[in-house]
Amino acid sequence: MDSFNTKAVHGEKLPKNIQSKVTPIYQTSVFSFDSLEEMEGYYNGEAPYLYTRVGNPNADELANVTARLEGAPAGVAASSGLGAIMAALLAVAKSGDHIVAARDVYGGTFYMLKEELARMGIDTSFVDFEDEKAIKAAIRPETVILYTESITNPFLRVENLAFISALAKEKELVFIVDNTFATPYLVKPFELGADMIVHSATKYIGGHSDVSAGVVVGKEEYIAAARSRVVNIGLNLSPFESWLACRGAKTLGLRMERQSANAQKVSDWLSTQPKVKNVFYPKGVSKKGNGAIVTIHLADQADESAFFRSLGWIQIVPSLAGVETSVSWPFGTSHRSLTAGEKAAVGVSEKTVRISIGIEEAEDIIKELEKALNEA
């Protein structure tokens, strides 16, 4: 290897037995082998990695830590929260099948179920999951999945997971739960009988608004099928974003403890404000807290544009869960794709504001919101 270009390309490889305290970033599209026999060993289960779309140590670390936090045996990472949801749904449902979903799920999930899965021949009935009779009435012979969220988006209804789980078992259906808002710090749906749990790791698992990622965890047989969807549809997560999400996950408990405590204080204060018509904040989620999201309806006479315009250091964003407090407008972002009737059915209006509480001092968050309400 004497030529300049060959030396530049191949360099000096580091030894393979370096012990790093933190998992390195395996920023590679492929993994190499010393022989054809060694490559063949991958297909026999003797080597762990071949091609990053099929598997990567960083993505596996994210999947495994999330599964461990949820108390589930297996997991797989995906390129986004919706990617994780799609992988979980298609792990079970096929053309001709039917899904019963909570009416008040995240707007992106609602659209996926209503439009994208319908294009695949999979039908969905949206039901008020507070009405046990309505859920049972919606189940058909071709139903295969019950789908809901542990804490719904944006009005923070706390789901009766034990009941839904029992019903799913009785009817031999697969129970899938989006646990993004609660996180396993507050709620562990797998321990309550869910078959698969999905996360937008973009939110609290990542925690710093610098990554787009999703995770599915649950029973091994379903995760094997979900992993096949991730691999063969191309829903895989990149190594660097996997690494970022893993770094964020290390402080999940610390962040949720602080953000939940702040949210309780902010919620209590908002309940006293004349320019706030309704405050939505969960109760009884966990002894550790009730989550970090507060949703409000501004009063009828309040000017929502003036409110958003006057927020100062609280940023207006279409997402949630960073360490900084932020606000979003579900009417024009997360639930934008819903028809006027669908928005009305779940209660989303121009006056709806979803507040993602950060780790700042609660008193400072309240002062900033107070200024905006005074201008509204």
Same domain for 94 and 219:
yes
Least reliable range by pLDDT among 19-23, 50-54, 165-169, 180-184: 19-23
Indicate whether 268 and 337 sit together in one domain: yes
Residue 268 clears pLDDT 70, i.e. is over it: yes
- 308-324 pLDDT tens trace: 999 999 999 999 999 99
Whether 51 and 197 share a structural domain:
yes
Say what the pLDDT of residue 52 is: 97
308 plus 195 within the same structural domain: no
Q: Are residues 355 and 231 in the same domain?
A: no
Catalytic residue among 103, 203, 255, 275: 203
239 and 263 part of one domain: no
Kindly list the distances between the CA atom of residue 3 and the CA atoms of 8, 12, 13, 161, 268, in Å, as whole numbers in the listed order.
9, 14, 17, 65, 71
Instruction: DSSP for 126-187, please give it.
Output: EE-TT-HHHHHHH--TTEEEEEEESB-TTT-PBP-HHHHHHHHHHHT-EEEEE-TTTHHHH-
The model's confidence at residue 14, banded by pLDDT at 50, 70 and 90, is confident
53 noted as active-site residue: yes
Q: Does the pLDDT at position 61 exceed 80?
A: yes
Q: Which of 125-139, 215-229, 329-343 has the lowest mean pLDDT?
A: 329-343
Q: For the chain, what is the largest distance between any 2 Cα atoms, rounded to a whole number of angstroms?
A: 79
What is the DSSP secondary structure assignment for residue 358, as one 8-state letter?
A: -
Is 336 part of any domain?
A: yes
Tell whether the model's pLDDT for residue 2 goes beyond 80. no
CATH code of the domain in which 342 resides: 3.90.1150.10
Query: Which amino acid does the sequence have at 326?
Result: S
Residue that is last in its domain, among 249, 280, 298: 249
106 is catalytic: yes
3 assigned to some structural domain: no
Whether 237 and 96 share a structural domain: yes
Give Cα 150 distance to the centre of its chain.
11
Q: According to the model, what pLDDT value does residue 1 have?
A: 63
Number of domains making up the chain = 2
| 257 lies in the same domain as 299 | yes
Q: Among residues 53, 171, 219, 288, which one is catalytic?
A: 53
Which one of 26, 106, 185, 281 is the catalytic residue?
106
pLDDT(140) > 70: yes
Residue type, 108: G
Using DSSP bridges, classify how beta strands 214-218 and 352-356 pair: parallel, antiparallel or unpaired. unpaired
| Residue 109, domain member (yes or no) | yes
Catalytic residue among 147, 178, 195, 354: 178
Main-chain dihedrals φ then ψ at residue 277, nearest 5 degrees: -80, -45
DSSP result, 39-94: HHHHHTTSSS-SBTTT--HHHHHHHHHHHHHHT-SEEEEESSHHHHHHHHHHTT--
pLDDT of residue 17: 82
Whose structure tokens read 């829903």?
Answer: 235
> What is the tens place of the pLDDT at every residue in 69-116?
999 999 999 999 999 999 999 999 999 999 999 999 999 999 999 999
**Of 205, 229, 249, which residue sits at a domain end?**
249
Which pLDDT does position 103 carry in this prediction?
96
- Please say whether the beta carbons of 329 and 352 come within 8 A: yes
Distance CA(99)–CA(140), nearest Å, equals: 9
Q: Is residue 288 situated within a structural domain? A: yes
Same domain, 185 and 59: yes
Strands lying side by side in the sheet with 276-280: 276-280, 293-298, 352-356, 326-328, 315-316
Domain boundary among 223, 249, 275: 249
Bond prior to 154 in cis (omega within 30° of 0): yes
The CATH number assigned to the domain holding 194 equals 3.40.640.10
What residues make up the domain containing 130? 36-249
